[in-house]
Structure 1
Amino acid sequence: MDVYSNLKQGERGAWVSIFAYIFCSALKITIAILAGSEALMADGLNNSTDVVASVAVLVGLRISRKPPDQDHPYGHFRAETISALVASFIMLFVGIQVVTDAIPALFDPNHTAPNMLAGWTALFTSVIMFFVYRYNRALAQRTNSQALMAAAVDNRSDALVSIGTFVGVAGAQFHLDWLDPLAAFVVGLIILKTAWSIFRESTHRLTDGFDQDLLEQLRGTISAIPGVEEISDIKARYLGSSVLVDVVVHVNPDLNVVESHTITEKIEDRMRKVHKINTVHIHIEPIHKWAPKI
């Protein structure tokens, strides 16, 4: 399956998230108003902004599918990472709003316990979001989509947030009225933590950051290929969900062009099979007789 097919499949996950969030946010906000629950209202507002974040992911995936052009010779794959970054900003804004709204309610002596209907609504929607999370996580792993994995992480956070909302509303029924706004406060903190995690990963990729442990694994894979005498340089970076590898390989100077080219084909084939990396730029150089072998 090529990268464009993966991006097209990733759009399915974005659509699933959008429909799930529209349903859950409308249900939660309506019930929150009727039941008088701060926690469920915060949960519902969180889902309503998740609709916008999911649309951003969908737009990013669609832009990423555009073929290379004169201005983008490497394609538009980083639009997917940018969409994940946009989603993190939206989550950050909502998290701050939820936390700042929950603090006054937490210290309000006149705050009353919400109707338990709010709790059951939160529990019901948490089950929905858990199944959406499982679906999107499996799809993200199959398509190697960073934006969709970010959406899946957000789905999981929303499921946990709704469970926290249920606990807060249920606890308030036992005259612990402060539990409902406390749950809203915790919801806000979870949203902020999720936003920071996605923001950090997105900016790391956009600035060509790469996991050094994974880079060493790539080096080890190439080093084990027969004919590779030495690796003098290896670099890798993310291009959306894809990985682009640049490597300088030293081979026996007595090999002819065809034999050297055969080694590059083996490297490309091994990288596809072991690491699912389709783009490897290989520079072949003759090894010096005094250079130590790897």
Structure 2
Amino acid sequence: MELNSYKKVKQVLWIILFANFGVALLKIIIGMSIKSASMIADGFHSISDGSSNIVGLIGISIASKPHDKDHPYGHKKYEVMCSMFIGAMLVFVAGKIILDSVDRFKHPVTPSITIESLIVLLITLAINIFVCTYESRIGKKLNSYILISDSMHTRSDIFVSVGVLATLVGIKMGLPAIIDPITSLIVSGFILHSAYEIFKESTGILVDQAIVDEEIIKVIVEEFEEVKDVHDIRSRGSQNDIHIDMHVLVNPNISVEKSHTLTDEIEIKIQNKVNKNAQVIVHIEPFYGEYTE
């Protein structure tokens, strides 16, 4: 990702940060006033979103640093490490909500529903829809891992808010108060699922999981008539920092200059067809006949 793109990501994270804290404050204040565990839980979830934005800002600030002697591949994985931290924060918040919900099962409280609380929920729901759409669109445009991941996290808020809204309406219609802690548990389920998705994506990058199907790379490389065969194709990284390497067999009499030109053309073609951020290393080998791996 280019330095200018990192600046744009920071701008988006600041905007989302203020939006999340505004939403969280509304939910918690209204939730406490009407004694709704589910709305308070949803408010804490929104705080976790804001906290994740802060961690994201820290991660982007470090990740945007240029490569140096001690970090020849750059600092991009710090962004991923911050995502893991966000996942841990979500697990903690979910645990707190679960404990509070268990207590509400033992000591149920019927929330007092007001028109104001419903209006606040609708407003926060609209804000979350805007945040999710905006963050996802910019994330895909800038190919930003943290923005795309955070937009997926925010998307869960939309479903959570709809669930809370349905609970309040249900109680207003006469459903038992126990539906409130049940909804809180559902909220915690969404939070845990968000944490799982973050851990899954982040772990894959940190352990160098293959990010591109090697068959796709093979088809692209074999389009060059100079290439007799290709093997040992490997890929790792994230969508904004892909590393690909391979062994390519060519005519043993090909010149060093032509070999160099071929490797450059392979890299350019992979960047055009797979990902513009791909960094490709090609190991040239002589081909003397049918290759057997």
Which residue does the alignment assign to 2:152? Answer: 153
Give the distance between the partners of 2:197 and 2:289, measured in 1 at CA: 48
**Structure 1 portions without partners, runs of 5+:** none
- Map Cα deviations across residues 207-228 of structure 1 (whole Å, 9 max, x no partner): 11124x6333223222223322
Give the distance between the partners of 1:129 and 1:38, measured in 2 at CA: 20
Secondary structure of 2:192's aligned partner: helix
- Map Cα deviations across residues 49-108 of structure 1 (whole Å, 9 max, x no partner): 221111111111111110111211111010111111111111111111112211231353
Q: How does 1:102-113 map to 2 (within 5 A)?
A: 102-109=101-108, 111-113=109-111
* Structure 1 letter corresponding to 2:110: T
Secondary structure of 2:107's aligned partner: coil
- Map Cα deviations across residues 216-252 of structure 1 (whole Å, 9 max, x no partner): 3223222223322111211111058311111111112
Secondary structure of 2:233's aligned partner: strand
Which residue does the alignment assign to 1:178? Answer: 178
Contact 1:238–1:244 under 8 Å retained in 2: yes
Give the distance between the partners of 2:214 and 2:10, measured in 1 at CA: 29
Q: Identity rate of aligned residues, in percent?
A: 29
Secondary structure of 1:229's aligned partner: strand
Contact 1:40–1:118 under 8 Å retained in 2: no
Contact 2:220–2:270 under 8 Å retained in 1: yes
Contact 2:226–2:250 under 8 Å retained in 1: yes
TM-score (norm 1): 0.92
Give the distance between the partners of 1:91 and 1:223, measured in 2 at CA: 45
Which residue does the alignment assign to 2:20? Answer: 21
Give the distance between the partners of 1:30 and 1:94, measured in 2 at CA: 18
- Map Cα deviations across residues 121-161 of structure 1 (whole Å, 9 max, x no partner): 22221111111111111111122222111111111111211
Alpha-carbon shift at residue 6 of structure 1 (Å): 2.8
Give the distance between the partners of 2:76 and 2:25, measured in 1 at CA: 33
Secondary structure of 2:49's aligned partner: helix
Give the distance between the partners of 2:181 and 2:121, measured in 1 at CA: 14
Which residue does the alignment assign to 2:187? Answer: 187
TM-score (norm 2): 0.93
Q: How does 1:143-292 map to 2 (within 5 A)?
A: 143-176=142-175, 177-211=177-211, 214-238=213-237, 241-276=240-275, 277-291=277-291
Give the distance between the partners of 1:161 and 1:3, measured in 2 at CA: 35
Alpha-carbon shift at residue 181 of structure 1 (Å): 2.1
Contact 1:77–1:240 under 8 Å retained in 2: no
Give the distance between the partners of 1:215 and 1:124, measured in 2 at CA: 47
Q: Are 1:65 and 2:64 matched, yes or no? A: yes
Runs of 4+ in 1 over 3 A off after TM superposition: 106-109
* Structure 2 letter corresponding to 1:57: G
Alpha-carbon shift at residue 273 of structure 1 (Å): 0.9
Alpha-carbon shift at residue 120 of structure 1 (Å): 2.9
Which residue does the alignment assign to 1:44? Answer: 43
Bigger shift: 11-20 or 238-247?
A: 238-247
Contact 2:145–2:238 under 8 Å retained in 1: no
Alignment RMSD: 1.9
**Structure 2 portions without partners, runs of 5+:** none
Which residue does the alignment assign to 1:95? Answer: 94
Report the CA distance shift for 1:226/1:139 in structure 2 as closer, same or farther (over 3 A): farther
